[in-house]
Structure 1
Amino acid sequence: MIKASLRGLLQRKLRLSLALIAIVLSVGFLAGSLVLSDTLNARFGSLFSTINANVAVVVQPKDPQAVDPVRLTDDQLRTLSEVDGVRAVSPDVSAQGVIPFRSDDGEPVSADAMLGFGVDGKDDPLGLVELREGSWPQAADEVTVTAYTAELARVKRGDSLKVYVPVLNEPRTFKVVGVAGYSGGRDSLAGESVVMFQQAYAQETFYGATGRYAGASFAADEGVSDTVLKQRIAEKLPSGFKALTGEESSEEQSAQIGVVFDFIKYILIGFAVLAAVVGVFLIFNTFNIIVAQRTRELALLRALGASWGQVAGSVLLEALVVSVLGATLGLAIGAGLGAWVEHMLIGEFELPSAGIIVKPITVVLAYALGVLVTLIAAFVPAVRASSVPPVAAMRDVVRPDKSLVALSVVGAVLAVPGLALVLTGALADMGGTAFLVLLAGAVLLFVGTLLLSPLLARPLVRGLGALIGRGSAGKLGVRNAVRNPRRTAVTAAAIIIGVTVIGTAATVVQSFKTSLEDIMGDSIGVEVMIQASVTAAPDGRQGFNPKALDQVRAIPGVKEAAAWHFDALNVSVANQPSAFGIFATDVGQASRMFPMDAVDGSIRTLAAQELVVDDNTAETLKLKAGDRTPVVIGGVTRDYTVVGVYKTTPIILGILVGLPAVEDFPGPLAFQGFVSLNEGVDAAPVVAQIEKIMKDYPGVQVGDRQSYVEQATASYDLLLTAVEWLLIVALVIAVLGILNTLLLSIVERTRELGLVRAVGLSRGGLVWMVTVESVLITVFGVALGLALGVGLGAAFTKALITIEFASVIAIPWLDLLQYLAIAVVAGIAAAVLPARIAARLNVLEAISYE
């Protein structure tokens, strides 16, 4: 039986190779995501190991992200440096977001990290940084920069350099007195910009007082291990600090950086899951058809004494061989994919190479996925193969399609309650619970629809066939597509899955964007928006000085300008974390710019310790006008009075406090600015003037109303792009499935094809017949997927409208037509090879084919 199975594999190379590709794709994406993650971690681990090469112990705050992190004092640093076994100490005086400006055009430098350090005028005791020319800064108005920074800023020793320091909330001009580099002749470690200030000036600027340090690195005397020195230093540590060995610090820093790239990893895993799900249908269809074609062969094996278990095992053995081969190829391709994405992500970084990392767990998971998916998909065909009676070997056997009644009943049992849950979640006023009900209903409806798809295939394909199935050849193509509805539905399943996902996402995104555009166009009095781009959660330490709006208000044509402050760290209301953070602004002014209809209390300019809240959040927190509630801003807890509840909109929602609360924010910078213009004033020249005012605040963007809508929906567009790539993956597998089905059906209908050629059908007609069949399968999948996707997207949008997070359901017809056109092209592409094979059949040989 084993020999027979292996020989059968060699005879069905083309058929099984199509299923093989589905396995390769799913395993490749999974392996790629894991290789990417492990390789990035190894790269950054190598980087931080280089940085910490001479470091035995690192002392740092336990919570470096705290609003007011602890600092080492001179006395504490001296105590730690005197610990037995310490050879040298390098104190840490540093800040992020220190941005130099280019000397030629005044634009801020762009680098992968923007760092500022304080140095004590001496060479680095740990030997990482070395002075190449000039001197270390000795005065408050002097700086030394790395060679890479000098290149970015286009400055040299003796030039003036404008530098933005976040704590100062403005740029200052310094004299470049020296250029430094790193050991080994490197100009940069990882594409970072570094500006080094006089230590006392940096301490005063970064931390508000001299004699303060964020931490320190220690080198050990010869013969003293890192672990021993860590234990000794830990005994002398001040409260709030922790000690790590250099290796532990490298691992921690590498893990923190790795989180930044996790979104790419999760996208690749999403591709892997989708490829595995749709691949199940392709693999199932392949083995199902192969079993149907081998009926007499399997029956003969049964007649010769093979048990039902041996027959089923032979099919599963074929599946196992295919899965192992697919997993092997997928693992190799995945390693290449991970390496390519890693190169694209950090290609410009000057990181030390760590090679391509393929861990044993990656290999195990790759083979587990490939083998498991294939064996699951092949199980039902294997059981079906074992049920072939021995007597079938003695006569021609036509295995009629099984009844669709049982499958359709199960599908209806799932789809009907699923539809009821979807309608309930969309139409009932259930708040946040609606989305859970909707999600449960969507899953049931989706699975039920897939099970009902064979029942729907005949009427839908016939209806579509009336449009394109013209002529004798076209009618034959329609009949072929409806001849086996199960096969048609399974072949189209990959398209149904992909198009449903993209249809849902496209409808929700388009509805949200249209809602924003409608509200922005009709309801608000804001023509210009100022927005800070941040690399971390905003808390008042990123953005622009609100005093800059005084210059904005002086621009001719400007009616009002409002600063919005935002804190997303260490904030809570009514003893619950605030999901949307806390905004501080002049609420009275905001109510003139934005739709803020009071549903309880009043909406006005707020005094200290007063707030307003949108009605959805108020319901969640059980707040109403007049209530007193504890509010945490910047880690400071105060009791606030709720003076008003306003109606939620897609633009304004969450907790709003007055400008007096900014004193509790970790920083005084505004996160956003909104500018209204007098009637008839053109926004374009005002935007240009505001851009000049904001030029000293790197990362701050200025735009008109449309740019604000685009920025507000940018994350949704990114999601939609990712989903569109998922659709491409699904279409690739779908094309393979259609190709597989057509190839196998041509073998099944060889005699039939010979007969239709003999009675006068031309080769072109035969090609058209196969093409019609392919396109019908594809369009059937797209049509069903679009109907399901648009319906679910509309339902989710209706739930958003219920909680006032959207205002209209908008269907992206143009995008949907593009998806349909792409699917038709995919169907035509899938028909090319089968049509060529069918057209080249020898008529006489085909008629005599058994």
Structure 2
Amino acid sequence: MLRASLKSLLSRKLRLTLAIVAIVLGVSFLSGAFVLSDSLTARFEKLLRSINQNVAVQVMPTEDAADDDPRPLLTQQQVDALAQVPGVAAAQGDITALGVVPFDVRDGKPVTTQGAPQIGGGATGDDPFALVSLADGRWPTAETDVTISRYTAEQAHAAVGDRLKVYLPEVNEAREFTVAGIVVYEGDRDSLAGETLILFQEAFAQRTFYGAEGRFSGAYLSAEPGVTQEELRDRVASLAPAGFEAKTGEQANEDAANEVQEGLSAVTTYFFGPFAIVALLVGIFLIFNTFNILVAQRAQELALFRAMGASWRQVTSSVLVEAVLVGVVGSTLGLLAGIGLGMAGSSALTAFIGAQLPGAGIQVGATPIILAYVVGVLVTVIAAFVPAIRASAVPPLAAMRDIARPDKPLLVLSIVGAALAVPGAALTGAALTGIGGLTLPALLIGVLLFFLGVTLLSPLLTRPLAGLIGRAVGWGTSGKLGVRNALRNPRRTAVTAAALMIGVTLVSTASVLAASFNKTIDETINSTIGAEIVIQTNSTQGPPDGTIGFSSEAVDEVRALPGVDQAVPFYLTVDGRVDDGAPPFGGMFAVDDMAVARDMFAMKAVDGDLGTLGPTEVVTDENTAKSRGWKVGDTFPIELSKGGEQQYTLVGIYEATPIWTDSMILPRAAVSNFKGPLAIQAYVSLDDGADAAAVKTEVERVMSDFPLVTVGDRSSLIDQFTSFTDIALGIISVLLGVAIVIALLGILNTLLLSIYERTRELGMLRAVGLSRGGVTRMVGTESVVMAVFGCVLGIVMGVALGVAIAAALIDRDFLTTIAIPWLSLIIFVLIAVVAGVLAALWPAWRAARLNVLAAIAYE
């Protein structure tokens, strides 16, 4: 039986190749995520080792102390004491700060990076651990000097002797400096990872970053010959001041590399993971259909095995062996494709961020290899299990004569489908209305049950729905024949269409939610915000915790501009704790004057007062108050970055809106306990008749010293909100593309196999006068019917799910309206038509060129 199975498998290489492609796509995304993450991590590890190759021990703040405010610092005396430890060859204090942004010399605009840090530091020129060396000019010797990396010089279009404007985050202002020199990294590299680097005179950097001279954020130590890193660490550990710890250079590098890997793993998993899931899920239907049709074709062969004494177990095993072999081949090719994907991704990402990371070869660990084979083989075996059981049920008598095997009734399948779809819909509905901590699991299980149920019910819908589609596309005799072929086997048509249905369901759901969100934001902002000018901060250099943004002095300057009526700044913290729990998801803000903010945003009081807040008073939205069991007059603790825990009293509850839901507003006094004093947004209303364009120009001038700040109008605020949905929708649309590719393979596979089954029938049709063009149109119509059928089912399911989720979000005040993007849905149908035509090209070409006499005499 094993030899017979292998011979049978080899005789059907072309047909099984299409099933293998589905496995390759899924496994390649899965393994590519791990290869990309491991390869980039290895490159960063090599970079860190080269940076710290002379560092035996690092003295740095502990993990807990690193977030303290004020942060712990080393004094010059403490660094000198560390240098006296036996075994220390040299010691140097570290002076660095993040968010130090240069401005372009040509146009005065801030220089930005693709997520890489923008670093400032202190330099003396005699640092034994210096990562850079002079390429031109000199080191900074005066407070007005800076020395910059070559990459920074290129991005800022600056040269030695130029005046360079630099934003200093610790003092929240920009100042001008003279470029004294240009530095490069070892190996004549312009940068390490696409970062900007600006070095100041050491004393000036210490005063600016740390508030006093002779202060350092940490220290680097090198070891004398014969002293190991562990020995030196143990000697230094006892002298490390409170809030600091000593680590070996290797351990510090490993910890930094682990942080990099965590970030990379999150990005690669969330990016590649959905593609792998969709590809494998869609692939199950393609593989199932392939084995189902192959089993039907081999009915006489398998029955002959049974007649010769093979047991049902042997027949089942023979089909599963074929599945395992297909899975192994697909997994191997998928793993190789994943390695290539990881290599390409590593090169693309480093080029995108402008990094010059050292090469570390391609890294293929055990995890992607194991996952590739386990997932690939498991998916294939699962998909082939039902066809394998069906193969074992072939009666031996079928080997003796050609018997008709009519399609089985759909009653049992429909009952099972309904038994899954109904509770799935009920569970989804219950989850959308909220059932506590079980909401997410219930939603996932409900959607899965509903989807499986509709999939099982889809054969029942094939004749009425696909028949209706056939009336629209089945023109003439050839078209009608194609429609009849699609309706001949409802199960096969439904399973083939299911591959496309998955992708269309996903993107239709996302489209409905995105359209509803965008319309809600547009209506809410235009109807409730009474500001003509909006000042925003792009938080690319850190969390919005008050350390990035613009100062209150700048807001005061905006208020004083001619034509400005009111200006309301908003301060945000992301690390506060409320009532011993997490802060509201929508944010914890502080404002100068709650009464002005209330009027600016047309906020309506549900209970209490929304007037000016006292130092320990707070207001929140009705959803937050309800979920936390608060009412006006209640007192609860709030812990901010500084100042410890304080008691606040709830004095007002405002009506929840998509902008103000799951949020909390504190008084301006609370900002002193935020991590930083900067505002993240401000809304500016103008006097009647004021020239909005002229005022906007003046506001831009005021904010020109703050590099991450942009000035726009209400439309720019709408763009900011909707940009996230646009990005998400773009990614999901690519997922649809993956599903379409696999769906094309599925339709192609079904048509090729059905042509094989209908060889004699096609010969008869040609014999009675059907032209080659007629055969082509017949096969093309059959393909289009299957594709559009899957697309329509996906649209119906996706819109239903999207509307249900949107309705639940309306109940939670995250949305105010439901919008259905009809144009996008029509485009999906047109894409399905094109996909159907493309899938039919090869099968139609083969069918049209069958030898008429050989086809009539077939079997």
Task: Give the TM bin, normalised by the shorter chain.
Answer: over 0.9
Q: Which residue of the other structure, out of 392, 395, 407, is the alignment partner of 2:401?
A: 395
Sort the Cα spacing of 1:283 and 1:805 in 2 relative to 1 into closer, same or farther, 3 A.
same
- The CA deviation string for residues 625-681 of structure 1, in whole angstroms up to 9 with x for no partner, is 111111112243211111101111111230101112211112111101111234565
Contact 2:16 2:326 in 1 (8 A): yes
Q: Secondary structure at the match of 1:559?
A: strand
Q: Could you say which residue in structure 2 is the equivalent of 1:626?
A: 633
- The CA deviation string for residues 325-362 of structure 1, in whole angstroms up to 9 with x for no partner, is 11111111111111112211111211111111111222
Sort the Cα spacing of 1:104 and 1:801 in 2 relative to 1 into closer, same or farther, 3 A.
same
Matched, 1:793 2:802: yes
Matches within 5 A, 1:640-651: 640-651=648-659
Q: Could you say which residue in structure 1 is the equivalent of 2:288?
A: 284
Q: Could you say which residue in structure 2 is the equivalent of 1:34?
A: 34
Contact 2:38 2:261 in 1 (8 A): no
1:734 maps to a residue whose letter is A
Contact 1:516 1:709 in 2 (8 A): yes
Whole-Å separation in 2 of the counterparts to 1:561 and 1:608: 21
**Which moved further from structure 2: 663-672 or 150-159?**
150-159
Contact 1:431 1:802 in 2 (8 A): no
Contact 2:37 2:268 in 1 (8 A): no
Q: Could you say which residue in structure 2 is the equivalent of 1:526?
A: 531
2:674 maps to a residue whose letter is F
**Which moved further from structure 2: 33-42 or 156-165?**
156-165
Whole-Å separation in 2 of the counterparts to 1:560 and 1:493: 57
Q: Could you say which residue in structure 1 is the equivalent of 2:25?
A: 25
Q: Could you say which residue in structure 2 is the equivalent of 1:566?
A: 572
Matched, 1:317 2:326: no
Q: Secondary structure at the match of 1:547?
A: helix
Q: Could you say which residue in structure 2 is the equivalent of 1:543?
A: 549
Whole-Å separation in 2 of the counterparts to 1:366 and 1:439: 25
Q: Secondary structure at the match of 1:168?
A: coil
Q: Could you say which residue in structure 1 is the equivalent of 2:738?
A: 729
Matched, 1:608 2:618: no
Matched, 1:138 2:141: yes
Give the drift of 1:424: 4.6
- The CA deviation string for residues 173-198 of structure 1, in whole angstroms up to 9 with x for no partner, is 12223332223333322222111112
Contact 1:434 1:799 in 2 (8 A): no
Sort the Cα spacing of 1:755 and 1:688 in 2 relative to 1 into closer, same or farther, 3 A.
farther
Contact 1:36 1:265 in 2 (8 A): no
Q: Could you say which residue in structure 1 is the equivalent of 2:378?
A: 372
**Which moved further from structure 2: 412-421 or 588-597?**
412-421
1:590 maps to a residue whose letter is A
- The CA deviation string for residues 71-126 of structure 1, in whole angstroms up to 9 with x for no partner, is 1222322222222111111211110010112222222223332100122x242212
Q: Which residue of the other structure, out of 60, 73, 76, is the alignment partner of 2:75?
A: 73
Contact 1:565 1:671 in 2 (8 A): yes
Give the drift of 1:250: 1.6
Contact 2:482 2:778 in 1 (8 A): yes
Q: Could you say which residue in structure 1 is the equivalent of 2:666?
A: 657
**Which moved further from structure 2: 92-101 or 234-243?**
234-243
2:331 maps to a residue whose letter is A
Give the drift of 1:546: 2.5
Q: Which residue of the other structure, out of 777, 781, 787, is the alignment partner of 2:786?
A: 777
Matched, 1:91 2:100: no
**Which moved further from structure 2: 510-519 or 202-211?**
202-211
Q: Could you say which residue in structure 2 is the equivalent of 1:246?
A: 249
1:83 maps to a residue whose letter is V
Q: Which residue of the other structure, out of 719, 735, 744, is the alignment partner of 1:710?
A: 719
Sort the Cα spacing of 1:424 and 1:156 in 2 relative to 1 into closer, same or farther, 3 A.
closer
Matched, 1:208 2:211: yes
Matches within 5 A, 1:123-272: 123-261=126-264, 262-272=266-276
Contact 1:27 1:327 in 2 (8 A): yes
Contact 2:425 2:447 in 1 (8 A): yes
Whole-Å separation in 1 of the counterparts to 2:608 and 2:621: 12
TM-score, normalised on structure 2? Answer: 0.95
1:230 maps to a residue whose letter is R
Q: Which residue of the other structure, out of 93, 99, 119, is the alignment partner of 1:115?
A: 119
Q: Secondary structure at the match of 2:682?
A: strand
Give the drift of 1:433: 7.2
Q: Could you say which residue in structure 2 is the equivalent of 1:510?
A: 515
Q: Which residue of the other structure, out of 444, 447, 459, is the alignment partner of 1:442?
A: 447
Contact 1:188 1:350 in 2 (8 A): yes
The percent of aligned pairs where both chains have the same amino acid is 51
Give the drift of 1:683: 4.2
1:587 maps to a residue whose letter is M
Contact 2:327 2:376 in 1 (8 A): yes
1:47 maps to a residue whose letter is L
Give the drift of 1:708: 0.8
Q: Secondary structure at the match of 1:577?
A: coil
Q: Secondary structure at the match of 2:710?
A: strand
1:584 maps to a residue whose letter is A
Q: Could you say which residue in structure 1 is the equivalent of 2:760?
A: 751
Whole-Å separation in 2 of the counterparts to 1:525 and 1:436: 41
Whole-Å separation in 2 of the counterparts to 1:572 and 1:116: 31
Aligned length: 847
Q: Secondary structure at the match of 1:130?
A: strand
1:102 maps to a residue whose letter is D
Superposed CA RMSD: 1.9
Whole-Å separation in 1 of the counterparts to 2:626 and 2:683: 28
Q: Could you say which residue in structure 1 is the equivalent of 2:647?
A: 639
Whole-Å separation in 1 of the counterparts to 2:262 and 2:165: 32
1:576 maps to a residue whose letter is G
Whole-Å separation in 2 of the counterparts to 1:278 and 1:757: 35
Whole-Å separation in 1 of the counterparts to 2:151 and 2:682: 34
Whole-Å separation in 2 of the counterparts to 1:104 and 1:482: 68
Q: Could you say which residue in structure 2 is the equivalent of 1:346?
A: 350
Q: Secondary structure at the match of 1:669?
A: coil
Q: Secondary structure at the match of 1:480?
A: helix
Sort the Cα spacing of 1:549 and 1:276 in 2 relative to 1 into closer, same or farther, 3 A.
same
Give the drift of 1:437: 5.2
Whole-Å separation in 2 of the counterparts to 1:819 and 1:67: 53
1:651 maps to a residue whose letter is I
Give the drift of 1:621: 2.1
Q: Which residue of the other structure, out of 805, 821, 828, is the alignment partner of 1:819?
A: 828
Whole-Å separation in 1 of the counterparts to 2:609 and 2:716: 31
Q: Secondary structure at the match of 1:70?
A: coil
Contact 1:435 1:799 in 2 (8 A): no
- The CA deviation string for residues 382-413 of structure 1, in whole angstroms up to 9 with x for no partner, is 22222222221110022222222222111111
Give the drift of 1:132: 3.7
Whole-Å separation in 1 of the counterparts to 2:31 and 2:258: 20
Give the drift of 1:580: 3.3
Sort the Cα spacing of 1:600 and 1:437 in 2 relative to 1 into closer, same or farther, 3 A.
farther
- The CA deviation string for residues 427-471 of structure 1, in whole angstroms up to 9 with x for no partner, is x58789766655543332222111111111111111111222122
Contact 1:568 1:580 in 2 (8 A): no
Q: Which residue of the other structure, out of 665, 669, 676, is the alignment partner of 2:685?
A: 676
Contact 1:435 1:796 in 2 (8 A): no
